[in-house]
Each structure stands twice: as C-alpha cells, then as structure tokens.
Structure 1
Amino acid sequence: MLAETICSAVAAAGLGIAALTAYRKRFLAATRIAAYSLVPLGLVMTGVVQWASGIVFKPTVWIGFGVLGLAWLLFMTTRAVERRGLGAGEKPAKEPKATGKGRGGGAQAVAPAASAPSLGGGTRPQATPAASAPGEDFSDIEAILKKHGI
C-alpha cells in the first residue's frame, strides 16, 4: 500500500513539473517529463509494484536468493577447480593437441617476425633489443626531451 502511494505521488509530481515546463514553452521536454512520470503510475495500475513489494518484503524470498547464490558459487568453484586440474582423485582430461586455435596456448605464431617493425629494405640485419645496451633504449626519447628543453 505504501509503495503504491509513493509511486502515485511521484507520478503526480512529475506531471506537475511537466505542466510547468509546458508553460515555459518547452513542449518537447514537457512531453518527455510527462512520459517518464506516467511510468510509475502505469506500474501501480498493472500490479507490478504490488508484486515487486511482495517479493522484496518476504524473508523466504531472500533466503531463496541466497540459496541460488550459494548454488551458483559452488558451480563456479567446481568449474575453476576442474579447469586447473586440481580435482582430488579424478582422472585428468586429455589435453587436445595445440593447433594454434582456441585457448590452448603453447602454439607458435604463424609468422613470429611479422610483428617486428621493418626498419629498412632488409639488406642489413636488425639489432635485437637484448644485444643493445640498456642506456641506448631511451636515447631517442632523451633527444626529444632535450630538444624541447625538458
């Protein structure tokens, strides 16, 4: 009963605000406000508010939600344990061969050098980051910072 009264009061207040907005010649905004304010009234008239308040204020419903949450938690825990292969006394499932498809991991890329940037015509070999000195990695950044006086 209280929820229906609150929704009806909200609808009446919204319609009042819509009337004031229409008085200021802002008809599009007034129509939008009226539409939003009629939603709670429609929910009261269809009985949705009574149904929802019946669910919210019953402790057995909340206990039921708790049981459903516990079931979901147990299900997700067993899936996580199964994926890690930590199941006690269970036979591990056969791993599929790595074909490069799926989440299997361990498969090599088709062209591992394809992601490396090209620095020239390919006539001279590129220096690997491991071969260069640690201080040389930031030399270009330092040059840019010096150029700007930083």
Structure 2
Amino acid sequence: MPDFNDLTLLPFCVGLTLLGLIGSWFAWRRRGVAAGTRGVAWSLLPVSLYLTGLLELVWDVVRSTVSWVTHLIFSPTVWAGVALFGVSVVLYVVSGVARGRGGNQKAEKSLKAQNKPASPAGELTATGPAPASASTAKAAKPSKGKAKQQDSSEFDEIEDILKRHGIN
C-alpha cells in the first residue's frame, strides 16, 4: 500500500472538508438547520484528524489490518493456527458440558462419604449439632431397595437441613 506524507494528506483533507461544507450548505437550505449543522460537523472531521495526527494513526491501522488479512488468507501456517484455536475452543466447551453433567462429581461424593466420620447425635459439627431424631429415623426405616433408600436419604438430608435452620 502506498505511504502518504504530509504533502498529500493536507490537500486531501482540505478538499474533503470543502466538499463537505458545500454539501452541508445545500442540506441546510433543503432540509433545515439540523441537517446542515450535522453536515458541518462531519465536514470538519478530516482537517481535525490531520491537525491532531490521528489521520496518520488511522491510516497505519488500516494498512496494518489489510496486511494482516492478506497474510491470513495466503498463509498455511496461519490457517493451522486458526484450526488449533478452533479445536481449543471446542475442547473447552466439551469440558464445560462434561463438568455440568457431573462427570467427576459422583466419584468425589463417594470419596467424601467414605472419609466423613459419622458424628454421634447431639455432637457439635461445623454446621451445628446433628439432630438426634435424624439418626434414629434413619436407623428405624427398613431398606426397600437401593433406589428407595437413596431417595429417602436425600429427603432425610433436606429435612435435617431445614430443622437445623428452624424451618419445619
């Protein structure tokens, strides 16, 4: 891409500003004060960008972006990097889905249950005293199969939590 210097940028910006001001004058006459004022505001931008040095910055950004895009399109190494990035994103999403389904949670729960010491009724624990009625209720219920026992133990845990917080 060509590189512009100050001698080409200044006349270009002044020309754009003059064209914009002429268009703003016509807009002012045909569509009113608001359209004309907005046109003047847009017309002053090229010269203001030139005077602040931002026009060269914008030009450099555009030139660098075009160079990067052409390098991206024609480089097999870059396409390999894009493919690896895609694989990385897919693997990250898959791991999040697997984590949400509880892939490792079952093993963690069984380890916690095995390592957790049973506290006698009335003993203080980190969550408060264990209710005496919960341990006797669990012991008094007969086992009606694995699924029924698991459901009842979950409900017993919920009842215990509610009792500890004073909710009956």
TM-score bracket, shorter-length normalisation: 0.3 to 0.5
Q: Which has the larger radius of gyration?
A: 2
TM-score, normalised by the number of residues in structure 2: 0.37
The structure in which a higher percent of residues are helix is 2
Higher relative contact order (CA 8 A, sep 6+): 1
TM-score, normalised by the number of residues in structure 1: 0.41
